[in-house]
Amino acid sequence: MRAVIQRVSSARVRVDDEIVGEIETGLLVLVGLGREDQMSDAKSLASKIAGLRIFEHDDKMERSVQDVGGSVLVVSQFTLLGDARKGRRPSFASAMPPNEARPLFDALCQFARNEGLPVETGQFRAHMLVESVNDGPVTILLDTAKLF
């Protein structure tokens, strides 16, 4: 499971001109699910998101989204599994098929809620317009397989 995490002052997702998810201070989490991902990856990633200390206090990044009373906007993005090492068109062969990915995505969101986080989401498999104001900017990459 891969995630791009951005510290934001606001973020929202629109589908067909309707806002389907919106937060103020918190984290925008773009998530890609791979074929090998398991429920344990979802639980581990949710825990990491909840505890990730990337909010500033006394000129250091030492507070989590929970510490600052923030929210999380989780958006499914299979293109994070794109492999563009060969040629010019990315291969998405390592991305989990949608019918398997949806339950795991939903589980990730529930695990994050279980960590005490207010969670909003985009709309799975929809064409979404994602708007965000990256605060810092601060952007962190996570991979449960620890590839980076």
**Domains of the chain (ranges, CATH numbers):** 2-142 (3.50.80.10)
Q: In this predicted structure, what is the pLDDT of residue 20?
A: 98
Active-site choice (79, 121, 139, 144): 79
Structure tokens at 32: 């890609």
- For residue 137, pLDDT beyond 90: yes
Whole-number pLDDT of residue 148: 74
Mean per-residue pLDDT for 44-64? 96
Task: Determine the Cα–Cα distance for residues 90 and 57; give it in Å rounded to an integer.
Answer: 40
pTM above 0.85, yes or no: yes
- Partners of residue 57 on adjacent β-strands: 60
146 has pLDDT over 90: no
Average pLDDT over residues 79-105: 96
Give pLDDT, residue 147. 80
> Quick check: is 121 catalytic?
no
Rounded Cα–Cα distance for residues 88 and 107 (Å): 33
Are 43 and 113 in contact by the 8 Å Cβ rule? The answer is: no
